[in-house]
Amino acid sequence: MDSQNTYWTDRALLEWQVELGVTDAILDTPVDRYALEVVKPVPKAATPEKPVGTPEIVKAPDVDAPALARTAAQTAADLDALSGAMQAFEHCELKKGARSFVFSDGNPAARVMIVGEAPGREEDRAGRPFVGRAGQLLDRMLEAIQMGRAADNAAQAVYITNVLPWRPPSNRAPDASEIAMMLPFLERHIALADPEIIVLMGNTPCQALLGRTGITRMRGEWVEVLGKPCLPMFHPAYLLRNPIAKREAWADLLSLKARLRG
């Protein structure tokens, strides 16, 4: 059967199904609708290459997800609006596999804002960042410098978020396109919370906000992000795997404490 015959056979079958009352077509496997092609209207005039009825296939225009994210983020006037705009954002595939949207925890008025990577399994279940083993270690680290996410006063409080609000499958590291797509929301999050100091936990937030990785070299060195002093540190999950690095993490916590005093 040539391709034109296949087309008319398929079309007749489809029309028959519609007559029987079928309204929706579903498949056995999921469809990535962002990668779909657009079928242009059937041309009116026939040519030898394109007989009447031959659909013309063209590639769908690519969605500029970071640009859409930027527009959505910029229109958010406060943290609640930002959370709503992120939850309504449909261009990050991770959203489909995640159980929860994880926005933030702690005190938004805190002097210190901590940026992690992405929710893990526990965070995905709880809908809050840093609640698993790494989060418990983070709480103990903060306690050691008399700080914590539950503190009411801005001086002792921290505000916590992640680069990504949805859990990547099997806790894999976020990829570059996911980071770039969600970065406008993170930048807006920082602008709206307006902390005095930013702490970046591990490579992913360094990649997002500084454009580079290499936490072993970068940790402990104060840099500037969005006009604010910023301290890259080892991620608590790394410290769980490499307890020897807690010495450096302690030095960084003391540096943070000294900066807050100064």
Q: At 193, list the tokens.
A: 């919370």
The neighbouring-strand residues paired with 200 are 115, 232
Phi, psi torsion values for 136, nearest 5 degrees: -65, -40
Compare residues 123 and 187 and give the one whose CB is closer to ligand URA. 123
**Minimum CB distance to ligand URA, residue 119 (Å):** 5
* Residue 71 vs 94, nearer CB to ligand URA: 94
Nearer to ligand URA, 40 or 121 (CB): 121
Looking at beta carbons only, is 39 or 166 nearer to ligand URA? 166
Read off φ and ψ for residue 118, nearest 5 degrees.
-165, 160
**Which stretches of the chain bind ligand URA, using CB under 6 A?**
116-120, 123, 129-130, 132, 134-135, 162, 201, 237
Minimum CB separation from ligand URA for residue 116, in Å?
Answer: 3
Spatial contact of 93 and 174, defined as CB atoms under 8 Å apart: no
Nearer to ligand URA, 123 or 252 (CB): 123
Residue nearest ligand URA, CB atom distance: 116
Question: What DSSP string runs through 143-202?
Answer: HHTT-BTT-SSTTTBEEEEES-SSPPGGGPPPPHHHHHHHHHHHHHHHHHH--SEEEEES
Phi, psi of 29 (to 5 degrees): -120, 155
- Residue 239 C-beta: closest distance to ligand URA, Å: 12
Q: Centre a 10 Å sphere on the Cβ of residue 169 and count the other Cβ atoms it contains.
A: 10
